[in-house]
Amino acid sequence: MEAVKLIAEYNSLGIADVIDHERFNLIAIDHHSTRIEGSTLTEVETQVLINEGRTPNGKPMEESLMVTDHHAALLFTLENAKVKNSLSVSLLQNINSLVMKRTGKVYNTMLGAVDSATGAFRKGNVTAGVSYFPNFDKVERLTNELVKKLNESMGKPLTVEQQLNLSFDAHFNLVSIHPYYDGNGRTSRLLMNYIQALYSLPLAIVRSENKAAYIQALVDTRQQKDINIFRQFMAGEYVTMLKQEIEKFKEMQKPGKGSGFSFLF
């Protein structure tokens, strides 16, 4: 698996130890994950928003709230992975509630109102494009089964390739259960990052420019019932990200490149 070799090179170069690398990496995750869900903020606007708290001019406030809420959810996710907190249904609900904290809506159903900002399971059936998701009355059972299966897998010795595939599979399975009214994609990608962080792997990013291919990979995987389709898509995204990071780092290490600019006086 090409990704395994690149992870070894990435770690040997000490890229994760570079000052501010983690912060910029997390901002890239915020940017791409929210762009997939409709945010129009650029990466620079996302960076200024996260670092300085300045909202971009001419952009809906809801988009800035989506980004800052995602950042809080990402930090929460990684902190739980860092201290080795076990994966649980309540942890996933907490992640989802942070994702939707200030943009969630109340859904009125025959079974009562559901506030999507609380991480509560949906009480109605949902579709997205050509995808139909499990009936709402199966959501709690399926989510519990997924968490149990993931914990069992994480309790066993795994190769780096198996660790990566586990994170990709968790991503696919949670978004396919679609347990919440809103924020399923972001929460599922954060679950993937949680597992990667737990194993001290570089964090995957689904690039927003590949949104159509990403959605198609999800659809094809469901329709053909072949998890390898999604694994291959995610591995491709992961390899591209690692190659770009390694290339940028090596370029920075070249003589005269360390400062990123040269004085003209």
User: 46: annotated binding-site residue?
Assistant: no
CA distances from 14 to 19, 21, 107, 194, 246 (A): 11, 11, 47, 21, 10
User: 116: annotated binding-site residue?
Assistant: no
Tokens of 191: 């679950």
pLDDT tens, position by position, 192-205: 999 999 999 999 99
User: 68: annotated binding-site residue?
Assistant: no
Enumerate the domain spans of the chain: 13-246
User: How many CA atoms within 13 Å lie on the side-chain side of 25?
Assistant: 22
pLDDT at 259 over 80: no
Judge whether 180 and 115 are in contact, CB under 8 Å: no
User: How many CA atoms within 13 Å lie on the side-chain side of 91?
Assistant: 21
Return the number of other C-beta atoms located less than 10 Å from residue 171's C-beta.
Answer: 24
pLDDT tens, position by position, 204-238: 999 999 999 999 999 999 999 999 999 999 999 99
Give the domain 13-246 fold.
Fic-like fold (1.10.3290)
Find the DSSP H helices in the chain: 2-13, 21-36, 43-52, 61-82, 89-99, 136-154, 160-177, 184-198, 211-224, 227-253
d(CA 36, CA 32): 6
User: 182: annotated binding-site residue?
Assistant: yes
How high is the pLDDT of residue 1?
87
70 is catalytic: no
How high is the pLDDT of residue 129?
83
pLDDT at 262 over 50: no
pLDDT level of residue 264 (50, 70, 90 thresholds): very low
pLDDT level of residue 19 (50, 70, 90 thresholds): low
d(CA 234, CA 240): 10
d(CA 95, CA 39): 19
Q: Which of these is catalytic: 32, 71, 171, 178?
A: 178
pLDDT tens, position by position, 32-68: 999 999 999 999 999 999 999 999 999 999 999 999 9
How high is the pLDDT of residue 212?
97
User: 167: annotated binding-site residue?
Assistant: no
User: 226: annotated binding-site residue?
Assistant: no
89: buried, middle or exposed (CB in 10 Å: 19+, 13-18, 0-12)?
middle
Q: Please compute Rg for the chain using Cα positions.
A: 19
pLDDT tens, position by position, 80-106: 999 999 999 999 999 999 999 999 999
Quick one: which of 73, 62, 70, 185 has its CA closest to 126? Answer: 185
d(CA 71, CA 175): 19
